[in-house]
A and B are shown apart, each in its own frame.
Chain A
């Protein structure tokens, strides 16, 4: 009996320790990734990386200025598409809609959220690239914008719903119309959450590569305009990493460090905004 109890206690302790090891291993991956990127990429980052165009094949040096600007342009278009649709759609879901429409919209958003990014790429390619017979910044931004919609929509809706009903009723009791209530009471009350939602959606698409392969396509020079192909950081990382040149590999690491740094900073900022609390009135 005693031996059995000892055995059970041993098993308990051992297995619980193993779960701790699992957690440690999983979390340590983040630090391994960061460590490798800083170790390999840190030495390759220089002023040139941010200001110069890619060097011609075979020459060392050069930078990724065009990819950094290209990523910025793509993300600008993505935000212009994804945020309004997500934001206003969420207001509709949280404040106006009946349950059937809400269900359909939510279902569609969840469906869109689950679509693999490569399939979004196919969609943007056949919808925007093929008709104009031209890879373009616009089509890349369109693909990324599509991916922003469901993330923005669903989280914004949740934060709007978290606003207590008492606030809505108080505003209306004071004579405010519904639209006035939404604009001056509900959205301001939820703005931290909404900002977090938008930032997280932005961070998620900032690193997307697969949809860009068919849309923004890549460019070793400055993009000639919104309807011309453009380079983007994640796409450059991919092309440089699979290339045979050592100097390109170094630059891929540098670009990886810049990209991941950007994404992690946005994530941390977004969570910091949220953790300071949504304005919830005391009763």
Chain B
């Protein structure tokens, strides 16, 4: 019934003879141009942002080159900047957060997509969406006053007692540090994993489940061996999204990581992250080199999240389309 054409219906000799001015008077061309300018400004701003980061970090890129990422001395007084501790802190906290968030998030997504009745699932998803809207500074606030004391008094001593033979869980329990930051990050990214994974799982065609069940699989076997593998790409995409978010997160991490540029095998020790050092030092940068080194860190962060977000989008779209394609067959 509905045709796909959206062209102006009065196409033909009449349309061709209309002058540009008369079309302008009708407002179509004006609307076209104005909205075009707004749309293009988005592209320009984005290009300007990339250009600004690249241009703004020229000094340290030329002076330190690749050593910027390999050395760990961050010394504004002697103007020497190596970013290794920050990169280490960012990666470690993100890794800790994924270790916690991925099983929890995927488990919850499976429950929402496969098990819960539609009404329960939608209600829970509503709460998950609200959770995703909680600003990071609130997570930081709870991190400082709730999670840090909890870690110091109960969790870290308990971990030390039970798993203290591992280098990961040694050293004094200050409360702040990689582990705490990782846990707070995990809480922050779980909603992202749940929302996206749920969508992807819901896009898996019914036939897949029914086929597995009819072959005698239990409910869990059909879920874990058929549905989840089918949605694998999209779930991986949701994890990439969460990772990108965790890497770029600033406030919550700044508040609980301890802000000490140190590399330590222990998750209990305090560290620093890329976003946190930018937040703390950008406005107080003493020299141009210091300022530009911070911008280079921003550039690194930008590139990391750029790549991860791109991969995530590809995976999620590919998986959803696969589901839709098979559903129609």
Contacts and interface: CB of A to CB of B under 8 A. Distances in A.
A-B interaction: yes
Interface of A: 8-9, 11-13, 15-16, 18-23, 25-27, 29-30, 33, 36-37, 40, 84-85, 87-89, 91-93, 95-97, 101, 104-105, 108-112, 114-123, 125-127, 146, 149-150, 153, 164-166, 168-169, 172-173, 177-180, 182, 200, 203-204, 206-210, 213-214, 217, 234, 237-238, 241-242, 249, 252-253, 256, 259-260, 263-264, 267-268, 271, 283
A259 B134 CA distance: 9
A11 B217 CA distance: 12
A25 B107 CA distance: 10
Chain A interface main SS type: helix
Contacts of A208: 135
A126 to B, nearest CB: 6
A24 to B, nearest CB: 8
Contacts of B224: 15
B38 A207 contact: no
A154 to B, nearest CB: 10
A116 B135 contact: no
A212 B1 CA distance: 52
A204 B283 CA distance: 24
A238 B251 contact: yes
Contacts of A27: 108, 124, 127-128, 131
A7 to B, nearest CB: 10
Contacts of A249: 145
A253 B220 contact: no
Interface in B270-321: 275, 278-279, 282-283, 294-295, 298, 301-302, 305-306, 309, 313
Contacts of A264: 130, 133
Contacts of B255: 238, 241-242
Contacts of A123: 48-49, 52-53
Given A19-B110, A120-B49, A165-B4, 19 more contacts: A9-B218, A12-B219, A19-B108, A22-B103, A23-B112, A30-B127, A36-B146, A105-B42, A111-B46, A112-B42, A122-B282, A122-B295, A179-B28, A204-B133, A207-B138, A234-B251, A237-B141, A252-B141, A264-B133
A181 B91 CA distance: 51
B168 to A, nearest CB: 23
Interface in B1-58: 1-4, 6, 8-9, 26-28, 30-32, 34-36, 38-43, 45-49, 52-53, 56
Interface stretch (B60-68, B76-84, B152-160, B187-195): B187-195
B298 A119 contact: yes
B107 A115 contact: no
B140 interface: yes
B250 A117 contact: yes
B221 A180 contact: no
B286 to A, nearest CB: 15
B38 A12 contact: no
26 contacts: A16-B223, A19-B114, A23-B111, A23-B194, A26-B190, A27-B128, A29-B187, A33-B142, A88-B38, A97-B36, A101-B36, A108-B43, A116-B248, A119-B53, A121-B278, A121-B282, A122-B53, A165-B2, A172-B8, A173-B9, A208-B135, A213-B282, A238-B251, A249-B145, A252-B141, A267-B133
